Structures are given as C-alpha cells and as structure tokens.
Structure 1
C-alpha cells in the first residue's frame, strides 16, 4: 500500500509539472514582442531588422553610399532611417530579409519612392517591416511593360508588415503578394487609383 501511495504521489507531481511547463510555454508565446506597439494581424510579429545595424539614408540619389538602394542591399539585419526627405527615383529590390524601413524618421514631408518595391524573385525573404512610405510606379520602360507596373511585389516572402504606406497608380495591381507569401499585414494605409495601363 505504501508503494502504491508513493506511485500515486509521483504521478500527481508529474502531472502538475506538465501543466506548469505548458502554462510557461503558452505565456512565452503571448509575451512575444510585436513589430511595434500598434502592429496587428498576421504580420504583427515580424522582427524586421531588430538587433541589427542602423543605416542612414543621407541622399535621394538612386545609387551609391547613403542611398536607399545601398542600405537595402547591406548584409544582415538592418534598420534603415532617413536623414533626408523628398523623392527617390529608383526600383528597390530587397535581396534578403530582416529589414526595417522606417520612413517615419524622414524629416519634413517624408519619402516618396518613384519605382517598384520588390523582393528578390523566388527567394524566401522573411521579416520585413516598412512604415510611412509613399510609392508610385515609374514611367513604362523595356523592363516593366505598361500593364505590369505593380508598385509593391513580394514573392515567397513571409512575416511582413506594411504600416502607413501610400500606394497608388500601380498597373496590374498596386500590391502583389504571391508565390507562397504569407503572414502579412497591411494596416493604416492608403491603396488607391489602380490603373490597367500606365501608358494611358
């Protein structure tokens, strides 16, 4: 009888420990940091460039040190901030993830990108945070036919949050998420005036 009682006591302790472990694991899940305090939806837990290098955009030029293209193409986790405001005329391709583009850091009227914002084709580009950016497609050219001017195009990407972006006049779509892209939030944004053909 004593052995049975000890065995029952041990089973009770083990059951209690299992419940405590499950409780701790679920608490950790709920305590996970969001991308920023107001982040919502499926992309809310994107980490962006958290813990990475802080890179400053110091010029509106399309290329070169201090440009947005230069900052986006740096290796590793990165947080991109702006010392300038105005119009950047350039297609921007994000080659790898773990990136925050903090448009709200730009002085004055902020940043307008006249160009396409894309991720590298068929490459998993994860953890992207983009805030306070205006995007307009450029004039048609040989690389981008008039009816294929998506302003934003992300393929094979996940854990993305777009916040306070202003996207308009894209042809085909203003924003295109495809090829398995998932866990995406677009919040507090203006997406307007899509057109069939930018040549018209």
Structure 2
C-alpha cells in the first residue's frame, strides 16, 4: 500500500476598499444600493464593453480639495468592488490505497463577490501525483475506477466547470465559474486515487495552486 498526500496552495485575489456612507434600501426580495433622481438612463453591453449612460443629471462629476472629495451624479453611484475566496482545508490526505477501492477526500472552496460578471477559479498542478520519478497515471476515461492506476478530481456544486473525473493539469484549468455576482458560492473538490497490482509502494504527493478572480 502507499500513502498519498496533496498539498494545496491558495492564491487569493481580493479587493478591500474603505467603507463610505450611502443610501441602502433592501427587503427580503430586493436590494437597492442607492437611488438617484434624473431623467433617463440605461446599461448597454457587448462582448467588449459595458456602458452606463444617463440623461438629466445636474452638476454631475468629481470635485475635490485638500479636505474632501465629492463624487456627484449617477455615474458615481456604485458599490465598492468586493471579493473573498477561501478553502476549507489546505491539505488533503488520501491515506492507504488499495486495488479493491477508490480512495477519496474532499474540501470546499467558497467565493463571495459583487462583481457584475461573476468570478472564475482555476487550478494548476506542479506535476503528476508522484514519488521520486514514479507517477500515478492521470484519469483519462472520465472515471477513477478501483483496480486501475488512476488519479483525478471530481467537482460538485452549481458553479462546477465539469461533471466527470479529470486529472489536474500543469496548465491553468478552470474548476468553477459563474457569470453574475454571488455571495457564498461553494464548490466541493473531491480527490480520487486507485492503484493496480503493479503500482509501487511509496508516499505520493502533488501541489495544486488555486487562483480565483472576480470579473468586475
């Protein structure tokens, strides 16, 4: 039998800005960050831009001095960007592997952001699950199966990027994403490994780097 350990490095991209006073209206069904009295306005988008326009503002724009800064008008009325990312457990141990069962262990990644276009989380492996110069084969048929030498990850949650078992790659690999804002978005990552009778005994390791970004 062999022991397998997976060490995870989290690369967290976050935005933290000072709080400011604003008019916030909310109920169990809606949330209005602030209100503005003007003429008309709209939000226009395409694949390459987002345009916020308004008509009827009086005295809009930015003014400042040594002691103050005034942001006036509809275009200045926006929430500060927020983003947070966490991993429930930074080290995963698969324990002793056997030819008769698939070993597995899981943790959960959580993302909260007010980014209008959501977020994307990816992983990069430092190589195969390995000991010295010996690698465990990455799963290639979509399912880690007992009795076969295979290793991969499975995902669960509304934001998961794929539904089958896949081997972590040394290139960036998206595992979770969404196209709108979300507080407390969670994806569970399950690590799976199995061996055959020819797999050598040893302590097998792999380091994964997690990177999550908000699409503001």
Same structural fold, with TM-score higher than 0.5 when normalized by the shorter chain: no
Higher radius of gyration, 1 or 2: 2
Highest relative contact order (Cα 8 Å, sep 6+), 1 or 2?
Answer: 2
User: Which band: TM-score by shorter chain?
Assistant: under 0.3
Greater strand proportion: 2
Quick check: which one's helix share is greater? 1
